Structure 1
Amino acid sequence: MRAVLAVARRELAGYFATPVAYVFIVIFLVLSGSLTFSLGNFFARGQADLQPFFGFIPWLFLFLVPAITMRLWAEERRLGTIELLLTLPIAQWQAVLGKFLAAWAFCAIALALTFPLWITINVLGDPDNGVVLCGYLGSLLVAGAYLAVGAALSAATKNQVIAFVLAVAVCFLFAASGSPVVTDFLSQRVAAFAEIARSLSLSDRLGNFGRGVVDARDLVYFASFIAFWLFVNTVIVDARKAD
């Protein structure tokens, strides 16, 4: 575990060594605040909660998380530093896990910086803070799911733009699979496909957390989803390390 943490610290420090991290955080905070208070009809709803914020999170992360992951492995391969990383006395899965944890910690920092929203609803009303905390937990799990996908696809190419586009496309499929448009379309053809699409939806899973429901099935889903894509990441790195 020490090797994993060493890689994670190296990667996390690398984020804040350039302006990219700060730009990402500023964009995330501005968009999350503006969407919550404007398109989310925060004041018109007359309810002291963060449901609008959690409703927008999967779509905010849809573009911002792939922007983080597109360089995780693509940049290493482009610069040729991946060989140096993999010749260190660590296993490939440790390098994969370390990079993932660094990106996840970065997303956790970005989410934590939205605390003014939490303070606002407590000033304006008497919210159920347990529900809000569950919503943040679900948001962090969605970020982890997107990060796992993006990291695996970043390992598949040297081009960061291609890695970004692929990650957005794949994450969009999982985010939108439970939407009424998709499920209604599938149910008119094969009802079983609609149920499968709904069960794979990241947005629906987050909706449960946003209502304060922490279901063991949702936790298992996110854990399995992340583990699967990290496994794919490790396989890709192993297959392409000599490219």
Structure 2
Amino acid sequence: MSSESSPSTPSAPSAVWAIFNREFAGYFRTPLAYVFLSVFNAFAISLAFFVGNIYEAGVANLDRFFLYHPWLWAFLAPAAGARLWAEERRQGTIELLLTWPISVWQVAVGKFLAAWLFLATALFITLPIAFTIGYLGDPDVGVIVSGYLGSLLCAGACLGIASIASALTRNQVIAFVTGFLACFLLVLIGYGVFDEFIGGLFSRNIIEEVRRLGLWRNLEPFTLGLVDLRPVAYFLTLSFGGLGLSTIIIERR
């Protein structure tokens, strides 16, 4: 018998691409996708201009715009990621999906990349804000690019957490709430209210190490134009660690 794979079995890139196309197109088959994109942009613009007072800062940069992105992704990434596996479970299509001549890993990667691109679409629709700042002032383009890169990585990290929550249940609402609470905790780490809460329980050294796990703590260097290896590794670990763990959960269920 030949050791070559069956002609009906697609290569790994082809399998991932097929799942990616299926999932990404699925986001736009309902009006919810457009509602999601509109809500993200409405909140991003409102927080930047009305809460962050980006015009009154007197500096041509977007640091106040990116300041609120961890909060946005903590809410919206779980909203987009809740359907990754929970929807398949609810509709009973996950069994059919897993009978295809492709591995669970290929399905998971295709789903994750499609969801990440959907979040990237929401992020890059905000580019007119950057163009406006560029028109009104003389911003450092490198800082803006690194800020968008950091925000995209932050979105992937929250999506990784959301994918775990989605793999654990067939209920999208439960998946969303679980993912949101986990992401919210990571956003809260590093803010004063969190330090006050645990300040009397742990030493300063322990608190400082815990703060390193916060989403904003790792996004902040990007908003200053610094692409450091440590925050990049942090975001990618959450992203692909979540992807890997969710895949293992699906395989064992």
Give the match for residue 150 of structure 1. 162
Contact 1:150/1:164, CA 8 A, preserved across alignment: yes
- Taking only the aligned residue pairs, the percentage that are identical comes to 49
Q: Distance in 1 between matches of 2:243 and 2:33?
A: 23
In the TM superposition, residue 216 of structure 1 has moved relative to its aligned partner by 0.9
Give the match for residue 69 of structure 1. 81
Q: Please tell me the residue identity of whatever aligns with 1:231.
A: G
Instruction: Say whether residues 1:220 and 2:233 are aligned partners.
Output: yes
Q: 1:97 aligns with which of 90, 104, 109?
A: 109
Q: Distance in 2 between matches of 1:205 and 1:62?
A: 14
Contact 1:71/1:160, CA 8 A, preserved across alignment: yes
In the TM superposition, residue 211 of structure 1 has moved relative to its aligned partner by 0.7
Contact 2:63/2:223, CA 8 A, preserved across alignment: yes
Contact 2:195/2:207, CA 8 A, preserved across alignment: yes
Q: Please tell me the residue identity of whatever aligns with 2:241.
A: F
Q: 1:194 aligns with which of 187, 190, 207?
A: 207
Instruction: Say whether residues 1:10 and 2:22 are aligned partners.
Output: yes
Instruction: Say whether residues 1:84 and 2:93 are aligned partners.
Output: no
Q: Distance in 2 between matches of 1:147 and 1:160?
A: 14
Which of these two proteins has the greater Rg computed from alpha carbons?
2
TM-score of the pair, normalised by structure 2: 0.91
In the TM superposition, residue 195 of structure 1 has moved relative to its aligned partner by 2.1
Give the match for residue 138 of structure 1. 150
In the TM superposition, residue 4 of structure 1 has moved relative to its aligned partner by 1.1
Q: Distance in 2 between matches of 1:206 and 1:158?
A: 32
In the TM superposition, residue 181 of structure 1 has moved relative to its aligned partner by 2.4
Per-residue CA deviation, residues 141-197 of structure 1 (Å, 9 max, x unaligned), is 010001111111111001111111000000111111122222344344322431232
Give the match for residue 10 of structure 2. none
Classify the secondary structure of the residue corresponding to 1:212. Answer: coil
In the TM superposition, residue 30 of structure 1 has moved relative to its aligned partner by 1.1
Contact 1:183/1:195, CA 8 A, preserved across alignment: no
Contact 2:144/2:223, CA 8 A, preserved across alignment: yes
* Farther-moved stretch of structure 1 (3-12 vs 192-201): 192-201
Instruction: Say whether residues 1:205 and 2:218 are aligned partners.
Output: yes
Q: Distance in 2 between matches of 1:144 and 1:34?
A: 23
Q: 2:49 aligns with which of 37, 47, 50?
A: 37
Contact 2:158/2:238, CA 8 A, preserved across alignment: no
Instruction: Say whether residues 1:167 and 2:218 are aligned partners.
Output: no
Contact 1:135/1:211, CA 8 A, preserved across alignment: yes
Q: Distance in 2 between matches of 1:38 and 1:67?
A: 24
Instruction: Say whether residues 1:235 and 2:248 are aligned partners.
Output: yes
Q: Distance in 2 between matches of 1:187 and 1:211?
A: 28
**Cα separation, partners in 2 of 1:54 and 1:185, compared to 1, 3 Å:** same
- Structure 2 stretches lacking a partner, 5+ long: 1-12
